Amino acid sequence: MSANSSNSHHSHHSHHSHHSLDIRHKSLLETLGDAVSKVLDPYGVTTSLFHAQVSWMLHPQEFQRALTALSSDLLALQLHLMNRAAGMPSADVIAPHADDARFADPVWTESASWDIVKEWYLAFTRHFEDMLFETPGLSDKERRRSAFWLRKWLNMVAPTNFFWLNPVAMRRFAETKGESLEQGWENLQRDVAAKNILMVEPDAFAVGRDLATTAGKVIFRNRLLELIHYAPTTEQVRAMPILITTPWINKFYILDLTARKSLVKYLTDQGFSVFITSWKNPGEDMAGTTFDDYLLEGVAEAVRVVREFCKVPQIHLVGYCIGGTLVSTYMAWANRRFGPDKMPVAHWTLFTTLTDFSHPGDIDVFIDESCIAALEGSMARKGYLDGSEMAASFRMLRSNSLIWSYWVSSYLLGEPLPAFDVLFWNMDSTRMPQAMHSWYLREMYLHNNLIKRNKLSVGGESIDLDGIVQPLYAVTAVDDHIAPWKQCYRIRKQINVAAPVRFVLSTSGHILGIVNPPANPPKRAYWIAEPERNEHWEHWFERAEKKPGTWWEDWTRWLGERTGPLVAAYPVANRQFPALGEAPGSYVLDK
């Protein structure tokens, strides 16, 4: 959009200065490269690295400086090697990152020869990555993308991924008299058949038997969702019910994994009346389903049903991830549609939710015109984006922990897959309808239109987040690479200055920062404070109070102050909304 206007400006300008060299337009090489990459390499896997290479060749002085930095490290490495070879103690020149578990086995430090392999690998990877982050003459985005893909290539060729370069795998082979590799071969056959590097056995758990077991009934169903009401476990509940809008990128039971980890069970036991959305897993018949449909037939319908079910004027609304982005859009829509007197939501909560997509984290490397066009081409053939494709890109963002660690443990060490409920849920992916997903990628990620006042029109209303005045409780996580917390923090600036905001930053990531039950002793911690309208995140963080444990307790206390008096518990189903089936319902079982 803006590219065209700037080009016309440049061409107009160049009439006056045709003697000077115009380097603002793309070179013939870049233009050709772009045309080829759109067809052959829309994600920039090789072209971004090629662009970086050409840029370094065009900047010989900077290249020389980078080589000097590398050679000084190599000298230190040489000294380290000589010391180790002579049996003298010597600290590692380059230590692995704290979260890099590949070289955790003591053999990588204690054995001089394996220490040398590790150090050479780390020295070169660290320098190549730094060089790409500092590539002269490339945009920030292109630098990040080339460094990202280089990191993926380097992760792939790590010594730990090869049997003859992995001392742990060779030791295991000797200890098991070759059985580990035999089992590794069987694991490889299993994954080839599954067309995936499995993280958990597909039959490790059954939904409704081991997971999603909190008692409840489906009390409403339409083409987009089933609405579940959980059976009360207390004689009295708060008058105002809670409706949780889950993401439709995965299945809803992440919030009801097991009795101990279940947020819905915890809320129900605390005396709240809890409803949750379970979204339909779309097939090609839903290709034309739009974001407007998710708002009107999804969250707006669910809000209506919950109010009618409990016969209350207002409810508390929760949104998680993309469900939270929908809830934020709905809150702006509802404030405009209903006005202050008829607003059906009294206050709301967001879990790890982006509303400002200017820096969406690592997924940024997949967001540009050619990536989205490639995805749209793939969706047009099927009518949806396959869940496995989405899962693969998220795994790619964390390839060491989500791909290569399974490669090593399954194939080189011959280990069985762990029966881990969160991983099982993670593999139980869903599809995205073509129309909704294309719109979402373009309007939210590519153009960042949700934060622009009245730029988007959804469900017949123009969307202005500044129209939201209801109190908000927002939860984020330190290690979240899908919704980075500093980006989520911007919600304070986007909604109305009159809306009180309580902002939480939990330890852990996108899933375990939320699925965060009370534990004794506490496993996690959180920072909490109420940010001012224009307060910078750094300032907020400095004054925020750090507390041990889980934010669940603070949230239920906050909810308890706002959800009205205790009343006789609402029945799990009623005459107006009879039970259509037991929780977890039927939509969640669709593969």
DSSP secondary structure letters along 425-464? HHHS---EEHHHHHHHIIIIIIT--TTSTTT-EETTEE--
**Which residue, 302, 365, 356, is CA-closest to 325?**
356
DSSP state letter for 545:
E
pLDDT at residue 90, as a whole number:
73
Distance CA 8, CA 114 (A): 58
Please enumerate in sequence order all residues whose Cβ is within 8 A of that of 148, keeping only pairs 6 or more positions apart, or say none.
48, 362, 365
Distance CA 3, CA 174 (A): 61
Record the pTM.
0.87
pLDDT at residue 415, as a whole number:
96
Please enumerate in sequence order all residues whose Cβ is within 8 A of that of 269, keeping only pairs 6 or more positions apart, or say none.
233, 234
10 Å Cβ neighbour count for 480?
24
Alpha-carbon 567 to chain mean position: 38
Structure token pair of residue 344:
């059906």
**Which residue, 584, 576, 574, is CA-closest to 228?**
584
Does 310 participate in catalysis according to the annotation? no
Query: Is the omega angle on the peptide bond into residue 518 within 30 degrees of 0, that is, cis?
Result: no
**Torsions phi, psi for 317 (to 5 deg):** -115, 135
Q: What pairs with residue 501 in β-bridges?
A: 472
Distance CA 248, CA 325 (A): 11
Per-residue 3-state assignment (H helix, E strand, C coil) for 288-328: CCCHHHHHHHHHHHHHHHHHHHHCCCCEEEEEECHHHHHHH
Please enumerate in sequence order all residues whose Cβ is within 8 A of that of 543, keeping only pairs 6 or more positions apart, or say none.
529
Q: Which domains does the chain have, with CATH numbers?
A: 28-161 (no CATH), 216-589 (3.40.50.1820)
Indicate the helix (H) or strand (E) that contains 276. strand 274-279
* 276 and 219 Cβ atoms separated by less than 8 Å: no
Please enumerate in sequence order all residues whose Cβ is within 8 A of that of 225, keeping only pairs 6 or more positions apart, or say none.
277, 278, 279, 280, 297, 298, 301, 302, 587
SS3 state at 399: helix
* 366 and 355 Cβ atoms separated by less than 8 Å: no
**Which residue, 511, 510, 504, is CA-closest to 549?**
504
From residue 117, give the alpha-carbon distance in Å to each of 53, 159, 160. 26, 8, 10
Our CA angle for 559, 561, 566, nearest 5°, is 90
Q: Which of 310, 321, 371, 488 is catalytic?
A: 321
Distance CA 511, CA 255 (A): 10
DSSP state letter for 246:
-
Please enumerate in sequence order all residues whose Cβ is within 8 A of that of 239, keeping only pairs 6 or more positions apart, or say none.
310, 312, 563, 564, 565, 566, 567
Query: Is the omega angle on the peptide bond into residue 202 within 30 degrees of 0, that is, cis?
Result: no
- Residue by residue, pLDDT tens for the chain (591 residues) are 434 433 433 434 433 433 433 334 555 555 555 655 555 555 566 666 666 666 757 767 777 777 777 777 778 787 877 877 777 777 777 788 877 899 999 999 888 889 889 988 998 888 888 777 677 777 777 777 878 888 888 899 999 999 999 999 999 999 999 999 999 999 999 999 988 899 999 899 999 999 999 999 999 999 999 999 999 999 999 999 999 999 999 999 999 999 999 999 999 999 999 999 999 999 999 999 999 999 999 999 999 999 999 999 999 999 999 999 999 999 999 999 999 999 999 999 999 999 999 999 888 888 888 889 888 988 999 999 988 888 888 888 888 888 999 999 999 999 999 999 999 999 999 999 999 999 999 999 999 999 999 999 999 999 999 999 999 999 999 999 899 999 999 999 999 999 999 999 999 999 999 999 999 999 999 999 999 988 999 999 999 999 999 999 999 999 999 999 999 999 999 999 999 999 999 999 998
